[in-house]
């Protein structure tokens, strides 16, 4: 199959894929799951819904991905799994994480919601860990017409269980083998995804070309671009830069009709809904906090032309120059 794993179970959302992976592996109350602080809340909610406790670590400032050394330092007897988040279409340091997981008897899960088709040292996102969760939200590299998700694994027993869980726990109609849920990928979304999957590699290659053009045009700009480390073949779900006075720069670009995004303005441990949670309260993760204040997502899609990248890049450089002049006067 496309992900180079043996089994795939379509589910309602990417969150459900991660939740059912944990439930299928028996992760529950009393267990800990290590993940990164600079991610979308959808990476952490499934851990909590499974009854487990998230253990957050900071990100690597050079790659934006989970810091593998910090992962190793927070393992306890209660740790059951590591959840690697492939942020922005670039894979986490999977060789290091896989070694840590194997040495400590842990499951390695992949949040691949932003990494459809990406590779790490030749291996597809979703095929490296024990199981992975994909989202097919319409804005993803592979998006449906509505919500959708999939769990990918080469563990046939786990896949079989997930297929029961997503369908009310049925082994066969009206024979409920366990307490499941209704979390099926509907047929309309499946048809859309099957057709769009045929074009995914081509679309991803166009994103890579646009990203390469960005890198060249922004080489002399006063911004930080996160180039790919050895072994990563990203799919550039987003093209993210780091820039000082981010909010001011964003507003100036918006006035010039250049739409940008912020992914993500609040790191996990700073969300109000977690303010009384032990895993978040009082915690600090300096890199995640710095990135939440300085990251800016530039326009990125498969049909982005070199001329458009030239225009965006020049306006960004002009804007940064204006901001620098404002500070000096």
Q: Which CATH class is domain 200-328?
A: alpha beta
Task: Evaluate if residue 329 carries a pLDDT over 60.
Answer: no
Dist. CA 21–CA 161, nearest whole Å? 9
pLDDT of amino acid 322: 85
- Greater confidence (325 vs 208) lies with 208
pLDDT of amino acid 304: 98
Q: What is the DSSP secondary structure assignment for residue 223, as one 8-state letter?
A: S
The neighbour count for residue 327, using CB atoms within 10 Å, is 9
- pLDDT tens-digit profile of 105-133? 999 999 999 999 999 999 999 999 999 99
- pLDDT tens-digit profile of 280-324? 999 999 999 999 999 999 999 999 999 999 999 999 999 998 876
Find the distance separating the first CA and the last CA of the chain, reported in whole Å. Answer: 59
- pLDDT tens-digit profile of 24-79? 999 999 999 999 999 999 999 999 999 999 999 999 999 999 999 999 999 999 99
Dist. CA 124–CA 142, nearest whole Å? 15
Q: CA neighbours within 13 Å on the CB side: how many for 32? A: 14
Q: Which residues contact 186 (CB under 8 A, 6 or more apart)?
A: 146, 148
For the structural domain made of 7-196, what CATH number should be given? 3.40.640.10
Domain ranges of the chain: 7-196, 200-328
pLDDT of amino acid 326: 65
Dist. CA 149–CA 81, nearest whole Å? 21
Closest CA to 235 of 117, 327, 99: 117
Q: Is 156 exposed, middle or buried (0-12, 13-18, 19+ CB in 10 A)?
A: exposed
């Amino acid at each position: 199959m496309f992900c180079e794993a043996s089994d795939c179970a379509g589910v309602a959302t990417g969150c459900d894929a991660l939740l059912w992976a944990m439930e299928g592996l028996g992760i529950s109350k009393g267990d800990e799951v290590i993940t990164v602080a600079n991610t979308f809340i959808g990476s952490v909610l499934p851990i909590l819904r499974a009854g487990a406790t998230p253990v957050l670590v900071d990100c690597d400032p050079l790659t934006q991905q989970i810091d593998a050394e910090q992962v190793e330092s927070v393992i306890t007897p209660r740790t059951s799994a590591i959840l690697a988040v492939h942020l922005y279409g670039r894979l986490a340091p999977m060789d290091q994480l896989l070694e840590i997981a194997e040495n400590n008897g842990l499951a390695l899960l992949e949040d691949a919601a932003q990494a459809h088709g990406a590779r790490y040292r030749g291996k597809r996102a979703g095929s490296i860990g024990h199981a992975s969760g994909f989202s097919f939200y319409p804005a993803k590299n592979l998006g449906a017409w509505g919500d959708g998700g999939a769990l990918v694994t080469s563990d046939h027993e786990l896949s079989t269980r997930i297929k029961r869980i997503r369908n009310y726990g049925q082994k066969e109609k009206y024979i409920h083998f366990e307490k499941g849920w209704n979390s099926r990928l509907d047929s309309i979304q499946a048809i859309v995804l099957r057709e769009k999957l045929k074009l995914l590699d081509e679309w991803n290659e166009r994103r890579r070309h646009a990203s390469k053009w960005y890198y060249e045009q922004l080489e002399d700009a006063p911004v930080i671009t996160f180039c790919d480390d050895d072994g990563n073949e990203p799919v550039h779900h987003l093209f993210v830069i780091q820039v000082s006075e981010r909010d001011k720069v964003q507003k100036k670009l918006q006035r010039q009709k250049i739409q940008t995004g912020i992914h993500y303005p609040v790191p996990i441990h700073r969300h109000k809904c977690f303010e009384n949670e032990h895993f978040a309260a009082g915690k600090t993760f300096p890199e995640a906090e710095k990135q939440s204040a300085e990251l800016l997502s530039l326009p990125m899609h498969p049909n982005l032309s070199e001329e458009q990248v030239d225009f965006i890049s020049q306006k960004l450089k002009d804007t940064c120059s204006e901001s620098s002049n404002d500070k000096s006067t």
